[in-house]
Amino acid sequence: MHDSLVITRIEGRVGIIQLNRPSHLNALNDALMDALGAALIEMEKNDDIGCIVLTGSSKAFAAGADISAMQKLSYHDVTKDDLISRNWETMLQVRKPVIAAVAGYALGGGCEVAMMCDFIIAADNAKFGQPEIKIGTIPGAGGSQRLPRAVSKSKAMDMVLTGRIMDAVEAERAGLVSRIVPLDKLNDEALEAATVIAGMSLPIAIAAKEAVNRAYETTLREGVLFERRTFHATFATQDRKEGMTAFVEKREPHFTHQ
Ligand code: CAA
């Protein structure tokens, strides 16, 4: 199943979404973001999918929001239509784990979409940046908030104020990406990681994702309490029982996602 803007496929229990607007280095216009949102929601609803991989091309994950589409808009235009909110926040509705597999440019909105994913696996040619200042604006899809949380205030300020590009090695050193792999291994590595995750219990993976995300959104005390309650709640699942029983019986667990 695919259309011109996103190409989707399913491998085992992994859903793969590829941004596909090569003529514009996957610049994120409304049509592409709508297509991405629809693909995410479809995969979120599909019980046969346990993890999602979002990727682009070997040249660009996404080179940002579509500058040509924004160029003529006025303040009134962007506030009345809530530019960037309408179809950019769909990602945040996805409870299943989402991995960003990034090759080439992940700039502006492209870097922001990658940061909305749960973790980033980067090809060795990946380039990250929030260069909005160079076109007279600032990040609009969470870059000024998620980047400092990922890489510290100092490096985020450097990136946002100078608009410079960070290569994959710097991005891994700074904590923005979890792993770097050679470009030709990116898809395999992302699929392998996603397959591992999709082999876990889905409700437990969702609980784990919620708990880690809580670290971004609340105080340590509240986050630890949330984690404790969620940990206790896993004891109400079949899969927690199966996981521990399988360990004790020295066999592989068979999770039923319940
Ligand atoms: N919007 C619209 N079109 C874009 C684009 C973007 N963000 N990025 C690239 N394109 C288009 C180019 O206009 C060009 O189209 P034409 O062939 O029709 O001229 C095509 O994609 C290929 O791009 P380049 O010829 O520029 O390719 P390059 O290899 O020389 O340079 C690049 C690559 C450094 C990524 C350069 O394209 C670039 O700087 N792009 C803009 C990056 C940017 O500023 N992103 C932030 C956007 S604002 C934003 O994202 C706001 C937000 O927070 C939500």
Per-residue pLDDT tens over the stretch 125-145? 999 999 999 999 999 999 999
Q: What's the pLDDT score for residue 2?
A: 42
Distance between first and last Cα of the chain: 29
Q: Which of 30-34, 44-48, 83-87, 244-248 has the lowest mean pLDDT?
A: 83-87
Ligand 1 centroid distance, CA of 88 (Å) = 18
Site of tokens 């521990």: 244
Counting ligand 1 atoms within 8 A of each CB, the residue from 19, 36, 67 with the most, and so the one to mutate, is 67
In the structure, what pLDDT confidence band is assigned to residue 1 with cuts at 50, 70 and 90? very low
Residue 162: how many other CB atoms lie within 10 Å: 13
In the structure, what pLDDT confidence band is assigned to residue 84 with cuts at 50, 70 and 90? confident
Helices of type H across the chain: 30-45, 67-71, 75-80, 109-116, 143-151, 153-162, 168-174, 186-198, 202-217, 220-234, 238-248
Query: Cα(41)–Cα(212) distance, rounded to whole angstroms?
Result: 22
- Residue located nearest, by CA, to atom 25 of ligand 1: 24
- Residue located nearest, by CA, to atom 22 of ligand 1: 24
**Structural domains in the chain?**
6-198 (3.90.226.10), 201-249 (1.10.12.10)
- CB distance 143 to ligand 1 below 6 Å: yes
With 70 as the cut, is the pLDDT of residue 206 above it? yes
Choosing from 37, 129, 132, 194, which is the catalytic residue? Answer: 132
Q: Which residue has the higher pLDDT, 172 or 87?
A: 172
With 80 as the cut, is the pLDDT of residue 200 above it? yes
In the structure, what pLDDT confidence band is assigned to residue 222 with cuts at 50, 70 and 90? very high
Beta-carbon contacts of 95 under 8 Å, excluding residues fewer than 6 positions away, are 44, 206, 209, 210
Q: What's the pLDDT score for residue 81?
A: 81
- CB distance 214 to ligand 1 below 6 Å: no
Query: Cα(117)–Cα(119) distance, rounded to whole angstroms?
Result: 6
Question: Which tens digits make up the pLDDT trace of 23-74?
Answer: 999 999 999 999 999 999 999 999 999 999 999 999 999 999 999 999 999 9
With 50 as the cut, is the pLDDT of residue 193 above it? yes
- CB distance 36 to ligand 1 below 6 Å: no
